[in-house]
Amino acid sequence: MGELPATLTREGFMLLSSTAGPIIGALLLVGLCVGIFQAATQINDPAVGFLPRFAVAVLAVWLLGGWVLERYATFFSHSLERMTGK
């Protein structure tokens, strides 16, 4: 029983990295493209940098949100079962 919290913490961090990875990766890719575009055109308007990243974040959460919630719900229910022993 002493290693259960450590195991759940490790599994939780692995779940967090696997579910946040695609969203953060998409944001990094768009940030790189926006940065290259701003450097090439010398447009330094903050809205040019913010709006594409915001749109990609909303799109990624909309597309991947169900999958992420399903993974977290499964992890939570399995964690409760393991803690209660049922």
pLDDT tens-digit readout, 2-27: 788 889 999 999 999 999 999 999 99
SS3 49: helix
Look at the pTM and tell me if it is higher than 0.85: no
Predicted local distance difference test score (pLDDT) of residue 1: 56
- How many folded domains does the chain comprise? 1
Give me the count of residues in the chain.
86
Cβ distance 74 to 36 under 8 Å? Answer: no
Reported confidence tier of residue 47, pLDDT bands at 50, 70, 90:
confident
Tokens 């999958």 belong to 67
Burial (CB count <10 Å: 0-12, 13-18, 19+), residue 67: exposed
Do residues 26 and 56 lie in contact, with contact meaning Cβ atoms separated by under 8 Å? Answer: yes
Q: Are 60 and 30 in contact (CB under 8 A)?
A: no
User: Looking at the predicted structure, is the pLDDT value of residue 28 above 60?
Assistant: yes
Range of the domain at 59: 4-84
- What pLDDT shows up at residue 84? 87
Model confidence at 51: pLDDT above 70: yes
At residue 73, does pLDDT exceed 90?
Answer: yes
